[in-house]
Amino acid sequence: MTSAPVRRGEARRAELEDGVLALILEEGFAHLTLDDVAARLRCSKRTLYTLARSREQLVRAAVVRFFREATTRVEAAVTDDTPIRSYLEAVAAVLAVASPAFFDDVASFAPAAEVYERNTRAAARRIGSLIEQGVAQGRFRDVDAAFVADLVTAQMVRIQQREVAAATGLSDSRAYSELAALVTTGLRAG
């Protein structure tokens, strides 16, 4: 039988993890020290060290969590009638909760950038698979699925590396919405 203090400890840990994630999504993290985070979350630095051994590990863990949860929400949103559009629009929706400062800081911090890049590659593979399925099922016009997937991947990487934001001023979320509209229009059968 689990004791009440253990459950309270688990609840507090989850509350702190949620707080760290919410804080960095809203403000980014480059400017935050562990002292800042502890003060904002009303805990001690020692308590934060129970979550991670360093500020860098705390940030990386929060970024990993964000993308893990985002992946789950995106996959749950994919529909059979518009799989690519629903997928890319779901990506746009989950990225909309994060501030430009978050994405700028992720791009500037190698451990976090690697997490975003890995998730972008996985999303690109998923898009390629959805294109191939749509072509095979006749829902999309006959295109070279590998070429379209490569084209989409290149744009997704540009979004992830903040190149689209720099060139157009679009947020990552808005860029994914625009990409969804462009790709689904271009693939439409008939």
The string of pLDDT tens digits covering residues 36-70 is: 999 999 999 999 999 999 999 999 999 999 999 99
Question: Which CATH superfamily hosts domain 4-187?
Answer: Tetracycline Repressor, domain 2 (1.10.357.10)
Residues 8-34 have a mean pLDDT of: 94
Residue in 180, 183, 171 with CA at minimum distance from that of residue 89: 180
What is the pTM for the complete model shown? 0.85
Residue in 27, 53, 57, 30 with CA at minimum distance from that of residue 41: 27
Angle of the 110-136 helix axis to the 55-77 helix axis, nearest 10: 10
pLDDT band at 9 (very low <50, low <70, confident <90, very high): confident
Residue 3's pLDDT is: 58
Residue 6's pLDDT is: 59
Residue 189's pLDDT is: 76
Residue 139's pLDDT is: 87
Residue 5's pLDDT is: 62
Domain boundaries, the chain: 4-187
CB neighbours of 62 closer than 8 A, spacing ≥ 6?
17, 20, 21, 24, 29
Residue type for position 44:
S
Arithmetic mean of pLDDT over the chain: 91
pLDDT band at 35 (very low <50, low <70, confident <90, very high): very high
pLDDT band at 2 (very low <50, low <70, confident <90, very high): low
The burial of 65, by beta-carbon neighbours within 10 Å (0-12 exposed, 13-18 middle, 19 or more buried), is given as: middle
pLDDT over threshold 70, residue 177: yes
The string of pLDDT tens digits covering residues 90-125 is: 999 999 999 999 999 999 999 999 999 999 889 988
Residue in 105, 1, 122, 121 with CA at minimum distance from that of residue 62: 105
